[in-house]
Structure 1
Amino acid sequence: MTFSIVARCAQTGMFGVAISSSSPAVAARCAHARAGVGAVASQNVTDPRLGPRALDLMALGASAPEAVTVIRQTAAAPAFRQVLAVDAAGRTAIHSGPRALGTWAEASGRDCAAGGNLLADADVPSAMVAGFEAATGHLGERLIAAMQAGLAAGGEAGPVHSAGLLLVREVDWPVADLRVDWTEDCPIAALAGLWVLYAPQLDAYVTRALNPEDAPSYGVPGDE
């Protein structure tokens, strides 16, 4: 019921997660990232505790493969879980339990890992990795390209209704947390539209938080 990708930008150190599902508000439960540490997607009969736990392990020095191994060995009901992780060195790891739903698959690439369950085609994660690696520009752009490639390869077996994009970099909060929590139309297309709207303002929002005196005009009535 979900397909996702976690990734690192080797040039900027930014981490991100992009995800889509037939379930509502998928990114609220499944997308996790921490600046300087890594990114994790926890999906398929989701246990939202696994993302923060994997990030805690990586913050303590575990690699993505080591963190995912600990999750596999100690999490409740690991046979039902699917967990994808990337760490600060670009290492990736994936756990897909044998009771993942429907057709499930996984793929890893340079600084990225993709996986899904209840897929229309087992090649969807590989298409996502290829789409990410072929794309250029901002990490957000490349993650959107990966999701579009996954959708073009078949996506989920049924229609998807929600999607999200989570990005972190040098500050303590997500620099982008864009969500389409439910739509009868294509949530990935809607997410791509949100990114086009948000991307030019991303840096300004960070500046406003850190140093409002240097921030660009807010563009609201009364702003001088």
Structure 2
Amino acid sequence: MTFSLILRDPETGEFGSVISSSSPAVAARCVNLADGVGGAHSQNVTDPRLGPKLIDQLRAGRTAQAALDAVVAGADPATIDYRQLLVLDNAGRAAVFSGDRALGNFGDALRENAVAGGNMLASLDVLDALVDTALSATGRIEQRLYAAFQAAVSAGGEEGPVHSAGLSVVGSAGWRITDLRVDWSDDPIGDLGRALDVWLPQRDDYVSRGLDPSAAPSYGVPGDE
């Protein structure tokens, strides 16, 4: 019911995620990112507790594979085979776990600085489209993530319709500098792209507002929050 990607930009140090699903609110339940640390997705019959545990392992200095091994070993043996976990560390190393009870056509694609995983896929070509497009595309990390999303859809996407999607990025600000979600829609990826078009030109100004309000521009909106 899900396909997703975690990407690291080695030039900026930013980490980003894109994810979509036939289920509602996928990004709220599955995505975990931490400045300078890495990213983790917990998906497929999701246990939202596992993502933060993976981030904690990365924050303690473990590699992606060591973090994954520790979390899988400590998980409930009665449920871990239902899970799919993706991890990317701050050196660009990737690791994936897919339990035997993952749904439908499932798999993963790992490269340096990128990892994709999915289940209920039209084909495994979807995952190669995600990582290869993200690594070859140009522009800001958000644009590369969204281009990868579009390529995955063109490669077939999920077996059925998707209804939720999200795109998130962390850098060094201390919060998600981009965090866009479509929690339920008949066109979540299109809606996400339209939100990104509005958000991206203003992204850095909103970072400035958080870090140094006196230097941040105003948009002339009533309340101007």
**TM-score bracket for this pair, using the shorter chain length:** over 0.9
TM-score by length of 2: 0.96
> In the alignment, does 2:82 pair up with 1:94?
no
The equivalent residue for 2:82 is 80
The equivalent residue for 2:192 is 191
- How far residue 110 of structure 1 moved from its aligned partner, in angstroms, is 2.8
Query: Conserved in 2, the CA contact under 8 Å of 1:178 and 1:195?
Result: yes
Instruction: From the superposition, tell whether residues 191 and 222 of structure 1 become closer, same or farther in structure 2 (CA, over 3 Å).
Output: closer
The equivalent residue for 2:41 is 41
Amino acid at match of 1:163: A
TM-score by length of 1: 0.96
Equivalents in 2 of 1:221, 1:144: separation in Å?
A: 31
- How far residue 6 of structure 1 moved from its aligned partner, in angstroms, is 0.6
Query: Conserved in 2, the CA contact under 8 Å of 1:32 and 1:166?
Result: no
Equivalent position to 2:116, from 107, 114, 117: 114
Query: Conserved in 2, the CA contact under 8 Å of 1:32 and 1:39?
Result: yes
Mark the runs of 5 or more structure 2 residues left unpaired by the alignment.
Answer: none
- How far residue 149 of structure 1 moved from its aligned partner, in angstroms, is 1.1
Aligned to 2:176, what secondary structure does the other structure show? coil
Amino acid at match of 1:21: S
The equivalent residue for 2:174 is 172
Equivalents in 2 of 1:35, 1:204: separation in Å?
A: 19
Moved more, 187-196 or 51-60: 187-196
The equivalent residue for 1:28 is 28
Give the aligned CA root-mean-square deviation in angstroms.
1.2
Amino acid at match of 1:192: G
Structural mapping, 1:201-220, within 5 Å: 201-220=202-221
Aligned to 2:16, what secondary structure does the other structure show? strand
1:180-223 per-position Cα deviation (integer Å, ceiling 9, x unaligned): 01112x21121111111101111111111111110012322487
Aligned to 1:205, what secondary structure does the other structure show? helix
1:2-49 per-position Cα deviation (integer Å, ceiling 9, x unaligned): 000011110000011110000011000001100010011110010101
Instruction: From the superposition, tell whether residues 46 and 174 of structure 1 become closer, same or farther in structure 2 (CA, over 3 Å).
Output: same
Amino acid at match of 1:11: E
Q: Once the two structures are aligned, what percentage of the paired residues are identical?
A: 51
1:152-203 per-position Cα deviation (integer Å, ceiling 9, x unaligned): 111111000000011111122111110001112x211211111111011111
1:63-122 per-position Cα deviation (integer Å, ceiling 9, x unaligned): 111111112212122211101111111111111111100000100123000010011112
Amino acid at match of 2:142: G
How many residues get paired? 222
